[in-house]
Structure 1
Amino acid sequence: MAGKLSIRPRVSATFTAATSIAASSTRACACSRVSQRKSPVPPRPPVALIIGMGPGLSAALARRFAASGYAIAGFARGPEKSAALAAEFAAQGRTLDLRAVDADDFDALGAAVSTVDAQVGPVEVLIYNAYSATSALPSQLALDALMADFRVNVGGALAAVRAALPLMQARGAGTILLTGGGLALDPTGWPAASSLAIGKAGIRNLAQSLHKELEGGPIRVATVTVTGQILPGTVLSSERIAERFWDLHAMAAPAPVEVVL
């Protein structure tokens, strides 16, 4: 922030010391009154925090919520993948705060949520879009791989919710949106995606359980279950899906706990 340039008029040497002191006192009082009349610092914009930030659906979600006045914060293991989006937001004068955060590091994830709330703005919308998928048939799926995937697919979501929920409750408003998948409804079409199917079943159950726990309060919880491949120009384009996320956040209560696309 540039410093203020103070221009002081030259004072005639014929002024007495008392006159100079009185003039200085008057200027000090005037400055004090001007300072008191300064406009208050404008409130920080609400934040939509997207966990699992990347160039696909997450980028579409960022654009959609930013278009409605939200500052965007994004967590990713490799935030450099969103460099093009960051340049786009900068050119538009929009806020995009990108941070390197692993969804399976629960302590770091929770701390990062609190940091964004304190430094960027109040987290009003939490979107969990992170996932990990080991490709293996169920009988061949290593237990360590399953548990590592589950930490990202479900554990990270709960860690983020546990950090954001008290902040939302203190303000009396908030929305939690979890990205679901059709494998939660029917895993038989893609047996080699068994780990992801287990994760999506878990995220769906987490959304429904949270929704029931918080039902009737000011915090909204919902999941968007995407039942196919996300492709441009289709009903499952990133932009169309992002619009449904926005609808779930913006619609009047009561909102459904799940939208299946």
Structure 2
Amino acid sequence: MTPRCVVIGYGPGIGAAVARRFAAAGFDVLGLARSPGRHAALAGPGIALAAADAADPAGLAAAIPPGTEVLVYNAYAAHLAPPSAQTPATLAADFAVNVGGAMAAIGAVLPGMRRAGRGTILLTGGGLALDPTHWLPAASLAIGKAGLRSLALSLHAELAPEGIHAATVTVGGQVAPGTPFDPDRIADAYLGLHRDPPGAFRAEILFRG
């Protein structure tokens, strides 16, 4: 059976690059996005697109096929305002996507991974999780990425003994071709993490400028 990879938050940059990389490695890839029609030109052989909203936990979970071997969570949300201008509502709405959506997706795949005794969960992190002062208007995103990194590292410790690899790829700069943050280079890191052998699972790969 052809292994399946689901990329949540499919779009230009990391999402499409990861989908291409796993498709080239022999996976059937499903890219989930709020408006998949906008990204149809990015899809290639082995990549199908479907609609799902990371802000809708039940809908997101229902869109993930059974038997998914690799889950990539690349969705995010940000209300751009400095920390003092954020409100409980903006922080909660963004956190619901940045961390809550990831948890909904993980909850959808984890029972099957546990039955199989294997699987990979990869979460797209950001440098703001390490230095939230780097871009103060992205305060809500920084809080979300810090929470997502905590989730990834905690899941790594919990699930590795079960043969399930949870990890984060922390991208500390603007994604652009031909830079240290080239999306194809970053995508190689996702596939590399998936290929880590049991007993040698890495928890994080960090891209810095």
Give the fraction of aligned pairs with identical amino acids, expressed as a percent: 53
2:28 counterpart of 1:71: yes
More helix by percentage: 1
Determine helix, strand or coil for the equivalent of 1:177: strand
Are the equivalent residues in 1 in contact too, given 2:20–2:47 (CA < 8 A)? Answer: no
1:142 positional shift = 2.2
Aligned equivalents of 1:188, 1:85: Cα separation in 2: 33
1:112 match: 63
Measured against aligned partners, the alpha-carbon deviations of 1:32-67 in whole angstroms (never above 9, x if no partner) come to xxxxxxxxxxx3x11110000112211100110011
Aligned equivalents of 1:247, 1:78: Cα separation in 2: 29
Aligned residue type for 1:47:
R
Aligned equivalents of 1:189, 1:55: Cα separation in 2: 23
Aligned-residue CA RMSD (Å): 1.0
User: Which has more radius of gyration?
Assistant: 1
1:156 match: 101
Aligned equivalents of 1:96, 1:189: Cα separation in 2: 35
Are the equivalent residues in 2 in contact too, given 1:133–1:195 (CA < 8 A)? Answer: yes
TM-score, scaled relative to structure 2: 0.95
1:57 match: 14
Aligned equivalents of 2:46, 2:133: Cα separation in 1: 42
Measured against aligned partners, the alpha-carbon deviations of 1:64-87 in whole angstroms (never above 9, x if no partner) come to 00111000001111111221023x
Query: Which runs of 5 or more structure 2 residues have no equivalent in the other structure?
Result: none
Aligned length: 206
Determine helix, strand or coil for the equivalent of 2:49: strand
Aligned equivalents of 1:192, 1:148: Cα separation in 2: 16
Query: Which runs of 5 or more structure 1 residues have no equivalent in the other structure?
Result: 1-42
Measured against aligned partners, the alpha-carbon deviations of 1:105-143 in whole angstroms (never above 9, x if no partner) come to 111111111xx22xxxx3110000000011101111122
1:27 match: none
2:130 counterpart of 1:173: no
Determine helix, strand or coil for the equivalent of 1:133: coil
1:260 positional shift = 0.8
Aligned residue type for 1:99:
A
2:162 counterpart of 1:217: yes
1:29 match: none
Determine helix, strand or coil for the equivalent of 1:123: coil
